Amino acid sequence: MLAREPERLEQAATEVRDAGGEALVVPVDVADAEAVEKAAERAEQSFGSIDIWVNCAMVAVFSPVHEMTAEEIRRVTEVTYLGTVHGTLSALRRMRRRGAGTIVQVGSALSYRAIPLQSAYCVAKFAIRGFTDALRTELLHENSDIHVTMVQLSAFNTPQFDWARYRTRQQPQPVPPIFQPELAARGIVWAARHRRRELCVGFPAVKAIVLNKFFPGVADRYLSKTAFSGQRDADRPAQPENERQDNLFRPVKGSFGSHGRFDAKARRHSWQLVANFYRAPLLAATTLLLLALITMIVQAMTG
C-alpha cells in the first residue's frame, strides 16, 4: 500500500493482518515516479511477481476556475493523473516480463462528464481515461495477456470531503446519492478478477455517462443549475481560512478511516452494481423471457 501518511498506512496494514492477509506499506508520494518505482521493487522483493496493481490516489480542489492557481492545477494533475501514469509504468515493466497481469485504474463518472467546482480533478480523470484507452489498444496490438480496466465511481462517503481544499460558502460534499466506500472496494476487487473493459459502480455514474454522450448540452444546463448547491454541505458553513486543513501538498494529520462524515446519508447497496456483476446471465434470462412472451403473443394471435 502506497500513500503519504505513515501512521494511517500502518493502521490499514493492521486491519489487513487482522483479517488474515499480509501487508507491505511504503510511505510515498505517487507524484514522484522514482519513489513509486522503488516501491514496486520492494513489493516484488516481499511478495514475488505483481499480479494486480490498483491506481487510486487523488487530490482535489473545490473552486471556480477563475479562482484556481496554476500551482493547484499542477499539483492535482501530478497526483491524480501522473500518479496513475507512474504506477502503471512501474507495473508494466514487471508484467511485460511474463506477459501477464492486471492494472486497475480507479476513475469516476467525471472521467466522462466534467462538473463545475472540480475542473482540475475532472481534467485529471479525463486524462487517465485517454491514457488507459491508448495503453489498452497497444496491448491488444501486441496480443498481450496484460489486462487494463477502469472502474468509474459515483459519489462516495470518503474523507476526501473533510480534507480537500475548497473555496465555497459551505464545506464540500459528494453529489447525492452517496454510497459507502465498501461498495467501491467491492467493484474494484471484482474488476481486478474479471476481464471487463470498464465497470461502473452506482447508477449515477451510468446516468452521467449516458446523458453526456447523447445530450451534452442538456447536461451542461442541468449541472449549471444543480451541481453548485449539490456539492455544498448546507449543514456545515465554510471554516475560517486560517483554520482549514487540506491534503493538497501534504497529508492532514489525524485518525481517518475509509468513511467520511456522511454515514447517515450513504447507501450500502447498488442494484446497478449487482446487475453489472451478473449481466451475462441476466441478459440471457431477459432474452428467454422476451422470446417466451413473443411466442405466447404469436400463439394467441394465430390460435
Q: pLDDT tens for residues 57-86?
A: 999 999 999 999 999 999 999 999 999 999
pLDDT in tens, 178-203: 999 999 999 999 999 999 999 999 99
Residue 174's pLDDT band (boundaries 50, 70, 90)?
A: very high
Residue 288 lies in a domain: no
The answer to whether position 21 is within a domain reads yes
Say if residue 303's pLDDT is above 80. Answer: no
pLDDT of residue 285: 86
Give me the sign of the Cα torsion angle 53, 55, 84, 137: positive
The per-residue pLDDT for range 257-270, each reduced to its tens digit, is 899 999 999 999 99
Enclosing domain of residue 18? 2-269
- What pLDDT was estimated at residue 34? 98
Q: Cα(85)–Cα(95) distance, rounded to whole angstroms? A: 15
Residue 298 has pLDDT above 90, yes or no: no
- The residues near 208 (Cβ < 8 Å, ≥ 6 apart) are 109, 110, 112, 113, 219
pLDDT band (50, 70, 90) for residue 288:
confident
- Which residues lie closer than 8 Å to 155 by C-beta, 6 or more apart? 174, 175, 176, 177, 178, 179, 202, 204
Q: What is the pLDDT of residues 150-165, one digit of tens each?
A: 999 999 999 999 999 9
**How many degrees, rounded to 5, is the angle at CA 85 between CA 81 and CA 88?**
140
In a domain, 44, yes or no: yes
Would you give the end-to-end CA distance of the chain in angstroms?
67
In a domain? residue 154: yes
DSSP states along 194-233: S--SEEEESHHHHHHHHHHHH-HHHHHHHHHHHHHHHTEE
Q: How many domains does the chain have?
A: 1
Q: Which three cell numbers stand for residue 231?
A: 456539492
What pLDDT does residue 116 have? 98
Tens of pLDDT, residue by residue over 6-61, are 999 999 999 999 999 999 999 999 999 999 999 999 999 999 999 999 999 999 99
**Could you tell me if residue 295 is inside a domain?**
no
Q: Answer whether residue 291 is part of any domain.
A: no
pLDDT at 302 over 90: no
User: pTM, whole model, 2 decimals?
Assistant: 0.92
Mean pLDDT for 80-109 is 97
Q: How much is the average pLDDT of 229-236?
A: 94
How confident is the model over 220-236, as a mean pLDDT? 95
Cis peptide bond N-terminal to 177, omega within 30: yes
pLDDT-derived band at 255 (thresholds 50, 70, 90) equals: confident
Q: Which residues pair with 145 in a beta bridge?
A: 100
pLDDT attached to residue 296: 85
Structural domain includes residue 294: no
Q: What is the dihedral of CA 154, 160, 161, 163, to 10 degrees?
A: -170
Which pLDDT band, with edges at 50, 70 and 90, does 292 fall under? confident
Instruction: Please check whether residue 84 is in contact with residue 134, taking contact to mean a CB–CB distance below 8 angstroms.
Output: no
Helices 83-98 and 33-47, interaxial angle, to 10°?
40
| CB within 8 Å of 31: residues ≥ 6 apart | 75, 78, 79, 82, 83, 86
A 10 A CB-CB count for 78 gives 18
Tell me how far apart the alpha carbons of residues 7 and 255 are, in angstroms, rounded to a whole number: 9
The dihedral through the CA atoms of 65, 71, 72, 74 has a sign that is positive
Give the CATH number, domain containing residue 66.
Answer: 3.40.50.720
The verdict on residue 98 lying in a domain is yes
The confidence score (pLDDT) of residue 295 equals 85
State phi, psi for 260 to the nearest 5 degrees: -95, -150
